[in-house]
Chain A
Amino acid sequence: MAMHTDHSHDYENTGELPKPQTKAIWKTFIILVVLTAIEFVFAFMMDAGTLRNSIFIILTVFKAFFIVSEFMHLKHEAKALIWSILLPTALIAWLMVALISEGSYYFDSVVNYFN
Chain B
Amino acid sequence: MWFFLLSDAFTFGALLIVYGLSRHKHLPYVGDPEAFTFSTQWWPIPEKVFNAFPGLHGVDLPLAFVALMTMILILSSVTMVLAVEAGHRMDKNDVQKWLLWTILFGSIFLGCQAWEWTHFIVGDDTGMVLGDGTRVFGASLTVNQYGPPLFADLFFFITGFHGTHVFSGVVLLIMAFINTVNGVYHKRGHYEMVEKVGLYWHFVDLVWVFVFTFFYLI
A positions within 8 Å CB-CB of B: 1, 3, 5-8, 10-11, 17-18, 20-22, 25-26, 28-29, 32-33, 36, 39-40, 43-44, 47-48, 53, 56-57, 59-60, 63-64, 67-68, 70-72, 81, 84-85, 88-89, 92-93, 95-96, 99-100, 103-104, 106-107
Please tell me if B189 contacts chain A, counting CB pairs below 8 Å: yes
Question: Across the interface, which residues of B come within 8 angstroms of A56, CB to CB?
Answer: 213, 217-218
- 25 A-B Cβ contacts within 8 A? A3-B190, A8-B186, A11-B90, A18-B89, A25-B81, A25-B85, A29-B75, A39-B213, A39-B217, A40-B63, A43-B217, A53-B218, A60-B210, A60-B213, A67-B206, A71-B78, A71-B80, A72-B203, A85-B2, A85-B6, A88-B10, A92-B10, A95-B13, A99-B21, A103-B21
Question: Across the interface, which residues of B come within 8 angstroms of A84, CB to CB?
Answer: 3
B21 interface neighbour in A5, A17, A68, A107, Cβ under 8 Å: A107
Give A106 to B21 CA distance when docked, in angstroms: 9
Task: Check B71 against A71 for contact (C-beta < 8 Å).
Answer: no
Task: Check B90 against A40 for contact (C-beta < 8 Å).
Answer: no
Question: Across the interface, which residues of A come within 8 angstroms of B20, CB to CB?
Answer: 96, 99-100, 103
Task: Check A8 against B189 for contact (C-beta < 8 Å).
Answer: yes
Encode contact with A along B49-78: 1 for CB under 8 Å, 0 otherwise. 000000000000011000100110011011
B positions within 8 Å CB-CB of A: 2-3, 6, 9-10, 13, 16-17, 20-21, 24-25, 33, 45, 47, 62-63, 67, 70-71, 74-75, 77-78, 80-82, 85-86, 89-91, 94, 186-190, 192, 199, 202-203, 205-206, 209-210, 213, 217-218
Task: Check B189 against A71 for contact (C-beta < 8 Å).
Answer: no
Question: Across the interface, which residues of A come within 8 angstroms of B10, CB to CB?
Answer: 88, 92
Question: Across the interface, which residues of A come within 8 angstroms of B209, CB to CB?
Answer: 60, 63-64, 67
Question: What is the CB-to-nearest-CB distance from A103 to chain B, in angstroms, rounded to a whole number?
Answer: 4
Question: Across the interface, which residues of B come within 8 angstroms of A32, CB to CB?
Answer: 74
Q: How many residue pairs at the A-B interface have CB separations less than 8 Å?
A: 127
Give A8 to B75 CA distance when docked, in angstroms: 32
Task: Check A8 against B187 for contact (C-beta < 8 Å).
Answer: yes
A-B pairs, 3 with minimum CB distance = A7-B189, A100-B20, A60-B213
Task: Check B85 against A22 for contact (C-beta < 8 Å).
Answer: yes
Question: Across the interface, which residues of A come within 8 angstroms of B188, CB to CB?
Answer: 6-8
Task: Check B213 against A57 for contact (C-beta < 8 Å).
Answer: yes
Task: Check B82 against A96 for contact (C-beta < 8 Å).
Answer: no
CB-nearest residue of chain B relative to A111? B25
Question: What is the CB-to-nearest-CB distance from A76 to chain B, in angstroms, rounded to a whole number?
Answer: 12
Task: Check B91 against A104 for contact (C-beta < 8 Å).
Answer: no
Give A3 to B87 CA distance when docked, in angstroms: 14
Question: Across the interface, which residues of A come within 8 angstroms of B210, CB to CB?
Answer: 60, 64
Question: Across the interface, which residues of B come within 8 angstroms of A11, CB to CB?
Answer: 90, 186, 189
Question: Across the interface, which residues of A come within 8 angstroms of B9, CB to CB?
Answer: 89, 92
Task: Check A71 against B81 for contact (C-beta < 8 Å).
Answer: yes
Task: Check A20 against B86 for contact (C-beta < 8 Å).
Answer: yes
